[in-house]
Chains A and B, each alone.
Chain A
Amino acid sequence: MSEVWWGDFVRAVHLLAPESADVTGIKELLCLPVSGPAPGSPRRAGEESATAAATCPAPIVIPPAAQAEGPEPAPVPARDAKHSLAAPEAAPSQGYVARLRTTYRDLGDQPPPWHDAVWLQQPGYEPPSPSLPHEPLLAHRTARDILQAALSRPERCGDIDLPALIDRICANRPVGVLPRRPVPTTRFGVRLLLDRGEAMAPFRRDQADLVAAVRALTGRTTAVTWFFAGSPDPARELRCPPGTRVLVVSGFDVLPHTFCDRRAWRRLVGRWRERDVSPVALLPFPEDRVPGWLSELMPTLSWDRTTTAAAVRGVVGAGAR
């Protein structure tokens, strides 16, 4: 606002002594801004500030005593050419709210208490996370024997069974085929049927280790691995050649919350038996928790450190009988 304008305004008000309502009219006639802060409005005078002498810092008088009387617009002049250029009139200004600067500091500029701590991790460097060390369920030194016992079936293809041969000759019976001693063998094939259901989640790495161990035992291409979740796929029966040993790795329904289709298992195992396919169940539970229906259906092995090859042979042999 220029002095001349407001000087004219003041003179006019002084001469005319108008009612307060007429003051606005006088302003309009003098082309002065008529909008002022509403009575009682807390809006700062700075919001009203307009441009003043552009070449020098325009003054803003901020009288402290409150007195809302008289026709004079309360905030006093302060227009700044720069403001009018840089900021639109409507933009709120906080020029009247002053920032108090720091008087002093009552704490020293000591470093934070963690300044000498060792860095936890260099920023930006994230080391690759190798897998955790894993201890298998079967001890390394016995695992091979146990698997051998579980996966093989007895076949009379070993050395000549001399006692049997002598008996036959003594009985004066013809010897068409030399009797041979039985030896365990996996030459009829091995199938792994792995349960990938939720119940076996804690044993995923054990399953992977098992697959690797079986392949190491039978040859990379001999063993075939099938997966299922919950209940077995009936189509698996057709793909087993006669004489195949199937190792079923599952928790079945040992855990209370798990479900398995017993009928499906019975049907599948029945078909297998018809085709001379012998299944063996490997469960991550102790023997005493194996359900009766399962032990009736097929030989079951506990998958744990306490399992021995002899025990496995016993179980599998009994099953074969």
Chain B
Amino acid sequence: MTELSDLLADALAEDPWSGDVELAVALSIATTIEPELVRAVRLGVLTSLDVGAEADFWFSDWIGRRQPDTVLLAEELLPDLREALADRLRRAAPGDRIRRLRGVIAAVHRSLPSALRLEESVTWLAFSESAPALNRAAKMLYRPLRSLADGENDPIADWVIEARRRLPASILEREEAWHLTLMAKAKRPYDVIPAPCVEDLLSDHDDSGDNGTDAAGRRVRTLLGPVAREFPERRIALRWDGDDLLIGGTVEDAALYIETHDVTPLMLKISSPGLPGQWYDVSGGPPRRHRSAGREVVVHTVDGECFEIPRPVGTTVQASPVLVTITVAEGRSGSYWLQPVSFRNNPSPRRGQPSVLLSRALRAATSRPYVHQELRAWQQGTTPAAVMLLSGGDHSTRIQLADQFAAECEAGGWTVFRARQDPETAPSLIEHLPDGGPRGILVVVDRADTWHPQHLVSLVEVLRRPGGGPVRVLTIAPTAGAWWQECHTRWAQRRIYATRKVIATRDVLDPTPEMVFSRCYDVLREELPGPPLLATARRDVGNLDVAEVPLIAVAAVLAPAGNLPDARRATVAVLDHEARFREGETPGEADAVLSRLCFVTALVGPCTHQVAQKLALDHGLIREPAEWTALSDRYRSFYPGENGFLPRPGPPPLADALVLHSLSGSPAVPGEPDPAWATGLLRGLPAMGQRDDGMSTAMANALVLLARLSTDSYPFYLGWVKPLLQDDPGFACRHGGEGLGAVVGLAEDEVVDLALLDRIRAALPAPSACDVSLDQAILRLETLLVNSVLRRTGRTDPALQLRLGVAQHRAGYLRAAQAAVTQAVEGYRWQYAAKAAEHADALCEALITSSRIHGELGETGTAYALAEEAERRVRELKGSTVGVNSGTALANLAARKIEIRGEHGAPALADARKAVDILTRLVENDPNYRPDLAAALPVLSDVLAASGAHTEALAQADEAVTHCRQLTEVNPWAHQHLLASAYECRSARQAETGHVQQALADSHRAVELFDRVAQTSPGRFRPAVAEARLRHAELLYRADSDEADRRAAAEAAVSVLRTLSEGTSTATTLQRERVVALGVEW
């Protein structure tokens, strides 16, 4: 105790108390003390005191701070004074004037600022320490908190800092008080503002009987979580050290970091499946070490963010399809990394799991000895670096072969890596090249067709080191496309041996059912020893379909019987065993939930945690998001997958069968979800998901799966898929080209009837808002529909030809489009001659499309003539026709005029201006014309630049960029190419005005955007990529930048130009000349 406290204790021990003590005790619940308050309390409550007590109190030792008109009691005395007051109130008779104290103070202080009045109310309720009053007091603290959080009323933060010194301790320890304090700390980051003590947070305050860790975790979450988002973000470094995860420390020394809110104290929970989570204070100091014991690790922040930490070593060479994206972040180049892969010492807690057995059987069944032999020969070659492309077959076969080969290489002393394009998930990035190991390096690049060719070329370059061991790069792709040609050429220039092995889907060397069964059975018996197969069963093997053998072999091993089951019974048996395996030792509700989650992931997987969690929440698998961690941990203990994703439950045949059986419910599989629930989930899918969203990818997966199952089973299509598409035809086209392609594939297989396909076509977005990734699927769809009509009617319809031509044009098939649209134009001319008004719109549209296609093919004369005709007809019909887009016609004419300027020298400025004016007016009434306007503005800019009005040209280019940015925000995949064009246009304008650096920046953006859209629709956008790269290379030359950069840019442009093929587009003579001018050989 302090001297002052002793003094007070002595004073309180006297009886009666002196006047100043009486007043101090009574006024200890007041926030501020003014002479008026002292007077009111003396006259209204402490009536026995004389006026001298006022001065005695005012100048007493109990005063801690004073201003001319206000005093505050010493803070260290407040608890004793309030205790004395509480005691006095307890002892007071019902009519005692001391009971009027709160009313008197409130009456005097009614004009005080609301925060101070609230503080008095809270103090009055809290100092008595009765639970209901304390709760009321705590809730009152949310009022200033809301003002602080929502109203940005920062002065309240200053009050909070002061009030914490005065409020009773009983209220300060409440969560509500900490929320308020932390919110104030977020607004005023002063060290003096207290923060919750880590020991208190982690101590078990919960009396609910739960275990202490959970209670502590709840307290950390509930206390820090709600306010965390108010704090600025901070980077927390993460890195692996063996099996230990180091959290915190210097970000620059780490490989990964997470961004989380820097609430004080900064707490993170690390959890692993099957282990209780552990909280760490990472506010500062050395990194914290978490021992993961080789398990998966998830980092949880207080505000609910969960980060799954990638494993340092992979267990397969496969690149998960959901991971393969080339992300070119703003201001940073795309990058890739190598992850070590090891097949040794894989933990196998799932020994005997039917899905694992089936995977092994499938691997054994799909082994191709001849492919394997060639891979071995390639590996053992004498060249220091060699590349092999493994293509053909299906993806799982390719991966199984590659995994098998990689495991053998590892066993032979080679170091195996897989190359990945997602460096954001790299667990440890270090700067040294990999050691060759005792024998050499094998790098497997799955889905190599999604890589940029230059990345692949440089990958081999980088690994090939003088004095190092041999390097083998095994690339895996469905086919060898233009990317392989490009890479092959460049490797050949660098004397890197590149070869290709195609896996035949059906090969004369395919083994007999007996051989396959024998292979599968041997592998399975190693895994799950049991009684040998009966001879009666072996006799049946010869009658089996080779594709069904693995499943039947697994069923035979799991449930040995006299005869082999047929494929259907085998599937049910394996599903049954799988469900029972999942049940484990804790049967009950949790297993039903897990089974339902298996159905979800089988339907939409592989999918992100967010998607699975949302579906689990929506369909009653979990009640709140917090339950997801336990459920996903449990799921992943059976089905481990790529970081951040939930895989499908087992190999494709089993997962597909799970969906089929769950939906049909026949034959019944114990432990599987009931069909009504499964059907409900399926029917709810169309209502979910948007483009550019993990959900959209999941929906595309579902569409592909449903299409696959429909192909196998027409009743399944009739029962589940057809109603789904009939109810919402747009479901097929909302989730990118893959989903639509799967549905169109069904129509090609004559599963989907053309009437339904026509409804799907009607549900497609307008061309101006259409996702570019749909282009190829739309072409297939249009081809099907048009051919069917042509077959049915036997005559050519210009409208159909135009539809087909437009689809072909969008898909990048210019020659075919030209032919179709030319036919359409001819047909419309005839019709126009008969009924001008009726067919004017269509003719103009056909003319404009034809003009554009001719222009893109470099046939500028024809393009110009068509554009002029279109413009003339629009002009002629302007008075009578309302539907013709005269702005588009004029913009097209202007563009064509620019192209043929050298030939005709016709000024296009008036046309371009007119086009933009018309489109601007149209946009005011109908926003659907915005893409047309965004496309016309660069044209006007080009025309203005050509006429010498550079300033106005630059302004138009700026406006184009602005329009396109707004369009891209609404629908990025429909308008990214427009934005790229706008950037390119602005780049040209800036270069003309001498701002080469800004021009380079815009040009770089244009290249990035064109690259991105070219990945989804290569036929359409590769010519644009080529042109953009060429311009960028020219700009680099003009900027006199580094010789190596210039040359690399020019080579990159040439490599794309070289891959342009006849039928889509080829390099023009002018482009060839420009390349030569850059000093690069064609």
Residues of A within 8 A of B (CB): 1-7, 10, 13-14, 37, 42-45, 49, 51-70, 72, 74-86, 92, 94-108, 112-115, 117-124, 126, 129-135, 137, 199, 201-205, 251, 254-255, 257, 284-286, 289, 302-306
Please measure, in the bound complex, the distance between the C-alpha atom of A199 and the C-alpha atom of B55, giving whole angstroms: 8
Point out the residues of chain B lying under 8 angstroms from A85, CB to CB.
997, 1000-1001, 1041
| Residue contacts A-B, CB under 8 angstroms, 5 given | A56-B452, A60-B336, A82-B1001, A106-B626, A120-B115
B307:A100 contact, CB within 8 angstroms:
yes
Tell whether, in the assembled complex, residue A202 and residue B338 are in contact, meaning their CB atoms are under 8 Å apart.
no
Closest to B328 in A: A57
A55–B338 CB distance below 8 A: no
Check B1036 against A59 for contact (C-beta < 8 Å). Answer: no
- Our pick among B142, B143, B153, B430 for the contact of A66 (Cβ within 8 Å) is B430
Q: Residues of B contacting A135 with CB < 8 Å?
A: 36, 39-40, 43
Q: Is the CB of A105 within 8 A of B433?
A: no
User: Can you name the residue of chain A whose Cβ is closest to the Cβ of B35?
Assistant: A202
Inter-chain CA distance A305–B1044, complex, in Å, is 98
Whether the pair A106, B625 counts as a contact (CB closer than 8 A) is yes
The verdict on A59 contacting B455 (CB below 8 Å), with A54-B1032, A70-B465, A120-B146 known, is yes
- With A53-B1049, A56-B1007, A202-B35 in contact, is A117–B142 under 8 Å at CB? yes
Contact of B108 among A13, A102, A112, A133 (CB under 8 A): A133
Residues of B within 8 A of A95 (CB): 332-333, 335
Give the contacting residue for A132; candidates B36, B610, B1036; CB below 8 A.
B36
B58: interface (CB < 8 Å): yes
Pairwise interchain contact A107-B429, C-beta atoms closer than 8 A:
no
Whether B1041 pairs with A81 at a CB distance below 8 angstroms is yes
- A contact residues around B467 at 8 Å (CB): 14, 70
Residue in contact with B333 in the complex, picked from A78, A106, A117, A304, CB distance below 8 Å: A78
Contacts of A80 in B (CB 8 A): 333
Q: If A52-B333, A74-B432 touch, does A59 touch B304 (CB 8 Å cutoff)? A: no
B462 touches A98 (CB 8 A): no
Q: Are A202 and B38 neighbours in the complex by a CB distance under 8 Å?
A: yes
Interface mask (B106-136 → A, CB under 8 Å = 1, otherwise 0): 0111011111001000000000000000000
Knowing A100-B307, A104-B628, A113-B226, the reply to whether A53 touches B454 (Cβ < 8 A) is yes
Interface assignment of B911: CB less than 8 Å from any CB of chain A:
no
Question: How far, in whole Å, are A84 and B333 apart by their CA atoms in the complex?
Answer: 12
CB < 8 Å neighbour of B429 from A51, A64, A129, A305? A64
Residues of A within 8 A of B54 (CB): 202-203, 284
How many whole Å from A70's CB to the nearest CB in chain B?
6
Q: Which of A70, A84, A305 is B1045 in contact with, Cβ under 8 Å?
A: A84
Using a CB–CB distance below 8 Å, which chain B residues touch chain A? 34-40, 43, 50-52, 54-56, 58-59, 68-69, 107-109, 111-115, 118, 139, 142-147, 149-153, 156, 176, 179, 221, 225-227, 235, 237-238, 251-259, 298, 300, 303-310, 312, 326, 328, 331-340, 415, 417, 423-426, 428-435, 452, 454-455, 457-459, 461-468, 494, 608-610, 613, 624-626, 628-629, 632, 643-644, 997, 1000-1001, 1004, 1007-1008, 1011, 1028-1029, 1032-1033, 1036, 1041-1042, 1044-1049, 1051-1053
How distant is B909 from chain A, measured CB to nearest CB, in Å?
Answer: 32
A121 touches B433 (CB 8 A): no
A65: chain B residues within 8 A (beta carbon): 340, 415, 430, 432, 434-435
A314 to B143, CA, bound (A): 58
Most chain B CB neighbours (cut-off 10 Å) among A43, A97, A131? A97
Nearest-CB residue, chain B, relative to A108: B625
Nearest-CB distance from A219 to chain B (Å)? 28
Known: A70-B467, A114-B149, A129-B111. 20 other contacts (CB 8 A): A1-B1044, A42-B252, A43-B252, A51-B1042, A52-B1048, A53-B1048, A55-B1052, A59-B455, A66-B430, A86-B331, A98-B256, A99-B257, A106-B626, A106-B628, A107-B304, A107-B626, A112-B149, A120-B156, A129-B113, A131-B111
Which A residues are CB-close (under 8 A) to B1029?
55-56
A237 CB to nearest B CB, Å: 28
A55 touches B1007 (CB 8 A): yes
Cβ contact of B51, chosen from A57, A112, A134, A302, cutoff 8 A: A302
Q: Which of B251, B298, B339 contacts A97 (CB 8 A)?
A: B251
Q: Are B468 and A77 in contact (CB under 8 A)?
A: no
Residues of A with C-beta under 8 A to B256: 97-100
What residues on B are CB-neighbors of A284 within 8 Å?
51-52, 54-55
Q: Is the CB of A123 within 8 A of B613?
A: no
Q: A51-B1045, A119-B151, A120-B146 are in contact. Are A13 and B36 (CB under 8 A)?
A: no
Q: Which listed residue (B34, B55, B146, B430) contacts A64, Cβ 8 A? A: B430
* Residues in A neighbouring B1042, C-beta threshold 8 A: 51, 79, 81, 84
Most A C-beta atoms less than 10 A away, residue of B40, B227, B610, B1045: B1045
B145 engages A103 (CB within 8 Å)? no
Distance between B732 CB and nearest chain A CB, rounded to angstroms: 28
Let me know if B336 and A75 touch, CB within 8 A: no
A132 adjacent to B452 (CB under 8 Å): no
Identify B1044's interface contact among A14, A67, A79, CB under 8 A: A79
Contact B40 A70, beta carbon cutoff 8 Å? no
> Are B326 and A57 in touch, CB under 8 angstroms?
yes
Task: List residues of chain A with CB within 8 A of the CB of B626.
Answer: 106-107
A97 and B236 alpha carbons, distance in the complex (Å): 11
Cα A3 to Cα B454 in complex, Å, equals 10
Flag if B337 contacts A64 (CB, 8 Å): yes
Closest to B52 in A: A285
Kindly list chain B residues whose C-beta atoms are within 8 Å of the C-beta of A6.
461
B305 CB contacts on chain A under 8 angstroms: 102, 105
**A64-B434 CB under 8 A given contacts A55-B1033, A123-B147:** yes
B312 contacts which of A64, A113, A203, A303 (Cβ < 8 Å)? A64
Closest residue of chain B to A306, judged by CB? B50
**A80–B415 alpha-carbon span in the complex (Å):** 30
**Which among A49, A124, A202, A204 has the greatest number of chain B C-beta atoms within 10 A?**
A202
Q: Residue B298 contacts which of A14, A52, A83, A103 (CB distance < 8 angstroms)?
A: A103
Residue pair A99, B1033 in contact (C-beta under 8 Å) = no
User: Judging by beta carbons under 8 Å apart, are B1045 and A61 in contact?
Assistant: no
Contacts of A113 in B (CB 8 A): 142, 176, 179, 226
Whole-angstrom CA separation of A1 from B1011 in the bound complex: 21
Shortest 7 CB-CB distances between A and B: which pairs? Answer: A107-B304, A57-B334, A2-B1044, A123-B151, A104-B609, A60-B335, A114-B142
* B-side contacts of A13, CB under 8 Å: 466
User: Does A59 lie within 8 Å of B459, measured CB to CB?
Assistant: yes
Given the contacts A51-B1045, A105-B305, A105-B625, A120 and B35 also touching, CB distance less than 8 Å: no
Instruction: Give the one of A98, A129, A204 with max B CB within 10 A.
Output: A98
- Distance in angstroms from B282 CB to nearest chain A CB is 15
Name the residue in A65, A76, A119, A304 with the highest tally of chain B Cβ atoms < 10 Å from its Cβ. Answer: A65
Bound: A84/B336 CA distance, A: 20
- Which residues of the other chain, B, contact A130 by a CB distance below 8 angstroms? 111
Given contacts A63-B338, A105-B304, contact A57 B55 (CB under 8 A): no
Closest to A41 in B: B431
Tell me which residues across on chain B come within 8 A of A108, comparing CB atoms. Answer: 304, 624-625
A132 near B109: Cβ-Cβ < 8 Å:
yes
Which residues of A lie under 8 Å from residue B1045 when comparing CB positions?
A: 2, 51-54, 79, 81, 84
Residue of A58, A59, A70, A131 with most partner-chain B CB within 10 A: A59
Query: How long is the Cα–Cα vector from A91 to B514 in the complex, in angstroms?
Result: 66
Q: Does the CB pair A74–B435 fall under 8 Å?
A: no
B460 to chain A, nearest CB (A): 10
Q: Are B36 and A100 in contact (CB under 8 A)?
A: no
Pairwise interchain contact B143-A98, C-beta atoms closer than 8 A: no
Which of B40, B227, B431 is packed against the most chain A CB atoms within 10 Å?
A: B431
Say yes or no: A55 contacts B1053, CB within 8 Å.
yes
Bound together, the chains give a CA A63 to CA B417 distance in angstroms of: 9
CA distance A53 to B609 in the complex (A): 36
Contacts of A96 on B, CB cut-off 8 Å?
Answer: 255, 423, 429, 431
**When the two chains form their complex, are residues B1049 and A99 in contact, meaning their CB atoms are under 8 A apart?**
no
Q: Give the chain A neighbours of B35 by CB distance below 8 A.
A: 201-205
